[in-house]
Amino acid sequence: MRIVLQRVSRANVRVSGSIAGSINRGILLLVGVHRDDTADRAGFLAAKCADVRIFPDAEGKMNLSLKEVQGEALVVSQFTLFGDCSKGRRPSFIDAAPPEKGKALYEQFVAEMKKHIPKVETGIFGAMMEVELVNDGPVTLILER
């Protein structure tokens, strides 16, 4: 599983012109599922996203977690995170999970996030989405397991 985590002051995702999910201060998570991923990876990474210390404390140091600042999370599926551009000009997505498995593990990841964070919003798996965000910092991390 590969996740692009961005600290945001706000973010939303639209599907067919309508907002599917929207958050204020928190994290935007772009989630890609690998063909060999398992449910325990989803649980591990959800806990990591909730606990990683990327928010400033009173002294301005990145010392607080999403949980500690009572932030929100927007989770968007993105199979293209497993696009391989090493050969030719068109990416290969052979490493991405097939849709059924990808959807099940994406939903597992969302369920695990909800165990840690009160407000978790999502996009729609497999839909064409428009994601808007205000990256705070900017702070962007890549998490994998």
Residue carrying structure tokens 């600290």: 7
Which residues lie across from 12 on neighbouring strands?
Answer: 22, 132
Q: Would you call 140 a catalytic residue per the annotation?
A: no
* Integer Cα distance of 5 and 71 in angstroms: 13
Catalytic pick among 55, 79, 82, 109: 79
Catalytic pick among 6, 55, 78, 122: 78
Q: Would you call 82 a catalytic residue per the annotation?
A: no
Residues, the chain: 145
Contact between residue 22 and residue 74 where contact means Cβ atoms under 8 Å apart? yes
Q: Would you call 70 a catalytic residue per the annotation?
A: no
| Active-site annotation, residues | 78-80
